[in-house]
Amino acid sequence: MREIELKALAKINLGLDVLGRRENGYHDVRMIMQSIYLYDDVKIERKTAPGIELSSNLYFLPTGDGNIAYKAAQMLMDEFEIEEGVRITLNKHIPVAAGMAGGSSNAAAVLFGMNRLFGLRLSQEELMERGVKLGADVPYCIMRGTVLAEGIGEKLKVLPSMPKCTVLIAKPSVSVSTKLVYEALDSSDIIAHPNIDGLMEALEKGSLRGIASCMGNVLEEVTVPMYPVIEEIKQVMKDCGALNAMMSGSGPTVFGLFENKMAARNAQSRIREKALAKQVYVTNIHNARRD
């Protein structure tokens, strides 16, 4: 095998709770993550000349070791003393700096692809152990599906698959630093914690309406006051028939869950007409796991 092409899926957070802050600065979280069918195309090619070449369709992305996908390739090349080089091409569609784990998903795809391409025979668990060294979301992006994440996000438990529905994604034209959002959050001040247990019960029952009613994200307390457009987008989605709408991760991306695809299309048009966001996508839940 000389090359491999992969889809690096985006994620949304159905629920995101922060329990406290560790001495090392990391936060203990409890959240439910879900893959959606919005993805970056990742192509990895073997080349005889040593080293890593990385290119992207986005001019502003770093192409050296400042890119997490580059770091993922370097990690495995160093560990397994791979003398050949690789050429990595990222065709980005997932909004950047948007709370959708685009970078982490790219890194996960590179770990998965390098494992296949060079016959390293690492298990999924072994890939995840390496992924957490790159970022807290990388192990989840290797696993994908409907998952409870605890600890700093690295302790993962597979949950019953989320019922199929239409998902509307809207990313306003602002970028949010995950690090700054978490630093600004005082977990002791959080009054309304999302109902993570209720979410898990709704998933067990396969109840989309139950899931929607239990959604919550404590990071909205920090990000929404900074960027009120997030609340405006949420309201448009709800006005157009979303069962619920919420910010994903540290934002600023908003997602809405819809039973009716036409209602989601209507919300998409309204958001664009109001110039609340340029990147607005109608997609769906993706439950298939990696083989």
Give catalytic residue positions.
11, 137
Half-sphere exposure of 22 (CA within 13 A, CB side): 8
Give the other-Cβ count within 10 Å of 165's Cβ.
18
Determine contact, residues 218/16, Cβ cutoff 8 Å.
Answer: yes
The CA–CA distances, whole Å, from 121 to 72, 115, 117 equal 16, 6, 10
Helix count and strand count (H, E) for the chain: 10, 11
Task: Quickly count: other Cβ atoms within 10 Å of residue 144's Cβ.
Answer: 21
- Whether 166 and 260 have beta carbons less than 8 Å apart is answered as yes
Omega into 139 within 30° of 0, i.e. cis? no
Determine the Cα–Cα distance for residues 155 and 162; give it in Å rounded to an integer.
Answer: 19
